[in-house]
């Protein structure tokens, strides 16, 4: 899972798809096994992806001797801002005295140390779909050459431990490297489905760790400030929800979290207060009439309310309210956020909203107790 500091803007042009680490590992395993059997370097192979496509991969290096073979390819994520783009993916294959196909992780592939992930604790972080892909590819080669021996496959990523520092793996309990991922085989650039999946995974790990509260933030900066606000909470309680406010709140409730805390800045949280639960910059405009209404509710004069209606950004409105001493404005916005989130998930949850500046100063907050929702 890749860490995202804020939701990224998608380039205004056709986007090139790439391939997952799982697809790359599968291709390398097939090339290495064919090389081990034939003693001839296999530099290109075709594999079947879960979505049904058959694609060709090229190896940049193939080594072998009598005991093992190793094949390496380069992960191409297409136009997706993926931390693993350009990484070397390596498969080392040998025959085994055991029947069947054994798959494990080598250098740069993380190990699972916390429950709540698709792999058991202690296992290499090679997800179920990539495992099935590798098994299928190996079985095809075994059948093709009528091999009657067991096969051992080790997947490595030489720079995986360094790459993992750019992801949330350590927080999820994946230690020592990256995960081998992919459910489709292809990487869809700027995919919202992958981001949503990362939110769900984070929530599951936190729940399995016995956490009772979860802190949801719109990005890396707001998460940093949230951690300063709640130093008593373990790191795995903090989830970057990005723009997916409604989705994250619903998933948190499904996982059994009844203490949800939302930390962010006035720009996106002014949209939440309006009832917008997908707060991407292109999802909906800020309603300045609504912000003027809130300002009036906390006693701002009509002249200021008229200024708010012609503002450029919610941040500008926030600056005006600070300058003119209307701190209650932020408490009122926070109350609206709590109410909208609670209504969106059917209540029954304690909702806390806290607004911060770009520098991390707290502007105001509110709490809606589960009994009120």
Grade residue 281 by pLDDT with cuts at 50, 70 and 90.
Answer: low
Nearest Cα neighbor of 350 from 362, 358, 341, 361 is 341
> What homologous superfamily does CATH list for 18-187?
CbiD-like (3.30.2110.10)
How confident is the model over 59-91, as pLDDT tens digits?
999 999 999 999 999 999 876 667 898 999 999
Its pTM stands at 0.73
How confident is the model over 7-21, as pLDDT tens digits?
445 445 566 788 999
Please name the helix (run of DSSP H) or strand (run of DSSP E) that holds residue 272, with its range, or none.
helix 266-274
pLDDT of 1 over the 50 cut: no
Percent of residues, the chain, with pLDDT higher than 70: 93
Grade residue 323 by pLDDT with cuts at 50, 70 and 90.
Answer: very high
Residue 224's pLDDT is: 92
How confident is the model over 185-221, as pLDDT tens digits?
877 655 677 778 888 989 999 999 999 999 999 888 8
When pLDDT is averaged across residues 341-361 and rounded to a whole number, the result is 94
pLDDT of 2 over the 50 cut: no
Q: If phi over 0 gives left and psi between -120 and 50 gives alpha, with beta otherwise, what is residue 39?
A: left
How confident is the model over 165-175, as pLDDT tens digits?
988 889 889 99
Tokens of 172: 């999820």
Mean pLDDT of the chain: 91
> Helices 328-344 & 245-254, crossing angle to 10 degrees?
60
Sequence ranges of the domains in the chain = 18-187, 192-368
């Amino acid at each position: 899972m890749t860490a995202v500091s804020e939701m990224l803007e998608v380039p205004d042009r056709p986007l090139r798809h790439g391939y997952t680490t799982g697809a790359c590992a599968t291709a390398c395993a097939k090339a290495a096994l064919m090389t081990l059997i034939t003693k001839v370097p296999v530099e290109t192979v075709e594999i079947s992806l879960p979505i049904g496509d058959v694609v060709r991969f090229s190896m940049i290096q193939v080594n072998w001797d009598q005991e093992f073979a190793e094949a390496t390819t380069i992960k191409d994520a297409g136009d997706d801002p993926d931390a693993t783009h350009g990484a070397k993916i390596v498969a080392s294959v040998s025959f085994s005295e055991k029947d069947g196909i054994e798959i494990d992780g080598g250098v740069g592939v993380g190990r699972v140390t916390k429950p709540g992930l698709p792999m058991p604790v202690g296992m290499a972080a090679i997800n179920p779909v990539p495992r099935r892909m590798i098994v299928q590819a190996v079985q095809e080669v075994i059948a093709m050459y009528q091999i009657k021996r067991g096969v051992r496959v080790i997947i490595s990523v030489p720079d995986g431990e360094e790459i993992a520092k750019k992801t949330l793996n350590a927080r999820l309990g994946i230690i020592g490297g990256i995960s081998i991922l992919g459910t489709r085989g292809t990487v869809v650039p700027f995919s919202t489905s992958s981001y949503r999946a990362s939110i769900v995974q984070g929530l599951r790990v936190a729940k399995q760790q016995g956490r009772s509260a979860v802190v949801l933030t719109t990005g890396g900066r707001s998460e940093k400030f949230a951690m300063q606000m709640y130093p008593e909470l373990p790191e795995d309680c903090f989830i970057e929800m990005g723009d997916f406010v409604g989705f994250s709140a619903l998933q948190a409730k499904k996982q059994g979290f009844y203490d949800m805390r939302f930390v962010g800045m006035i720009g996106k949280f002014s949209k939440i207060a309006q009832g917008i639960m997908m707060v991407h910059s292109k999802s909906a405009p800020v309603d300045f009439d609504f912000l003027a209404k809130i300002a009036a509710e906390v006693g701002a004069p009509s002249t200021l309310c008229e200024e708010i209606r012609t503002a450029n950004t919610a941040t500008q409105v926030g600056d005006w309210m600070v300058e003119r001493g209307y701190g209650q404005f932020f408490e009122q916005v926070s109350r609206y956020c709590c109410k909208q989130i609670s209504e969106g998930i059917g209540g029954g949850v304690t909702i806390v909203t806290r607004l911060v500046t770009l520098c991390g100063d707290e502007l105001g907050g509110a709490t809606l107790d589960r009994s009120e929702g």
